[in-house]
């Protein structure tokens, strides 16, 4: 795969250096792994539209959804090598690219709601995390929302004991690994594009995701029970290849920044609705039973997952966790 990515990268360089470079539009390949009709898919399309409008056609954004070009880990390699120029990976996927601090977002119950999330991403923690990308050849442009995660399996998941011994697909985050281990479950890292089939064939028993991701991948059709735990959050860091971005003429980059701000506002203002609609559709389908936890059942889940904070403090940094908690006002016992 690396070989393929490399040849795509050199083709992109050649295209930039060619004789027609001055007149041809700057092409931004934007690869992502979800469906077009999801919070990320819609925000990406909005950015494409606004980038074209504000740069008067000087920049063409090509959006490749559904892992069409690259799967989870590959897309980060592709960005760093310059085969694609823009991505919006889930914040839970930066560990393998060497920026493990982003995994702080994965701590169970660290974000009580979207207002808390916004406080963190627009505050010093959000800025500090983006700075860490520089050394890896990437620039962070924006934080995009998806929403809060729910759990699913073919078994009713009500108490922490229900998770014992079940295999759960996770994104490549050590915090998510610790989270499922705290419940006695067996976590398994897997690319997003492979989850539906893994659930269908029983390679894994369950998974966690947002309603919009579950619904657009038809996961609810192969999971008899879905529990509305809202124990964690999925959002995205929109990133670009730093060298590419810095090489764009300043006046064009200003227009792209403007397009990004507006696409971000657009996406973040409707992600909640996307998830509410997806949950309503899942319910209507009758294929999965939606389970709501009582306050007591909720506290039992929080209590079971609380040790994760200590388990991962060496990896994420105690200071960063404390700073995050101060801004978000969350935590397992809140």
62 neighbors 49 (Cβ within 8 angstroms) = no
Q: Which pair of structure tokens corresponds to residue 251?
A: 């006046």
| Closer CB to ligand LMR, 139 or 216, in the complex | 216
Binding site for ligand LMR (CB under 6 A): 33-34, 40, 90, 146, 171, 192, 209, 213, 234
In angstroms, give the least distance from the CB of 40 to ligand LMR: 6
Between 175 and 248, CB nearer to ligand LMR: 175
Residue 187 corresponds to which tokens in the numbers above? 């976590």
CA-based nearest residue to 146, from 66, 38, 277, 218: 38
134, 250 contact by CB (below 8 A): no
* Diameter of the chain measured on Cα atoms: 68
- Nearest residue (beta carbon) to ligand LMR: 90
User: Closer CB to ligand LMR, residue 144 or residue 163?
Assistant: 144
Give the nearer residue to ligand LMR in terms of CB position, either 152 or 209: 209
Minimum distance, C-beta of residue 212 to ligand LMR, in the bound complex (Å): 8
- Alpha-carbon distance of 280 to 81, in angstroms, equals 41
Q: Residue 157 or 234: which CB sits closer to ligand LMR?
A: 234
Could you tell me the smallest distance in angstroms from the CB atom of residue 89 to ligand LMR?
A: 7
Kindly write down the DSSP assignment for every residue of 61-115, as one continuous string.
EEEE-TTSS--HHHHHHHHHHTSSSEE--BGGG-GGGT-GGGGGGGSTT---SHH
Give CA–CA dist 177/175, Å, rounded.
5
CB of 209 to ligand LMR, least distance (A): 5
Looking at the Cβ atoms of 55 and 216, the one nearer to ligand LMR is 216
Angstrom distance (rounded) from CA 45 to CA 96? 27
């Amino acid at each position: 795969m690396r070989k393929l990515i490399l040849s795509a990268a050199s083709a992109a360089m050649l295209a930039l250096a060619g004789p027609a470079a001055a007149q041809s539009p700057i092409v931004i390949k934007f690869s992502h792994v979800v469906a077009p009709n999801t919070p990320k898919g819609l925000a990406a399309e909005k950015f494409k539209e606004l980038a074209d409008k504000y740069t008067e056609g000087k920049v063409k954004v090509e959006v490749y959804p559904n892992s069409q070009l690259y799967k989870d880990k590959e897309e980060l390699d592709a960005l760093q090598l310059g085969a694609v120029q823009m991505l919006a990976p889930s914040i839970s996927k930066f560990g393998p690219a060497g920026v493990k601090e982003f995994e702080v977002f994965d701590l169970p119950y660290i974000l009580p709601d979207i207002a808390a999330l916004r406080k963190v991403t627009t505050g010093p923690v959000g800025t500090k995390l983006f700075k860490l990308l520089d050394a890896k050849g990437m620039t962070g442009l924006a934080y995009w929302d998806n929403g809060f995660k729910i759990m699913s399996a073919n078994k009713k998941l009500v108490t922490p004991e229900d998770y014992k011994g079940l295999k759960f697909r996770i994104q490549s985050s050590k915090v998510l690994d610790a989270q499922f281990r705290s419940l006695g479950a067996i976590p398994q890292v897997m690319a997003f594009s492979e989850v539906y089939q893994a659930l269908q064939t029983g390679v894994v028993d369950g998974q966690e995701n947002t309603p919009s991701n579950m619904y657009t991948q038809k996961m609810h059709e192969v999971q008899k029970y879905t529990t509305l735990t809202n124990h964690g959050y999925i959002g995205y860091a929109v990133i670009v290849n730093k060298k590419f971005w810095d090489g764009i003429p300043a006046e064009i980059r200003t227009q792209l920044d403007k397009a990004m701000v507006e696409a971000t506002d657009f996406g973040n203002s409707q992600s909640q609705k996307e998830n509410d609609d997806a949950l309503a559709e899942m319910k209507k389908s009758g294929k999965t039973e939606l389970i709501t936890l009582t306050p007591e059942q909720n506290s039992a889940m929080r209590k079971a997952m609380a040790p994760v904070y200590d388990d991962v403090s060496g990896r994420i940094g105690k200071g960063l966790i404390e700073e995050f908690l101060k801004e978000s006002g969350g935590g397992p016992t809140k």
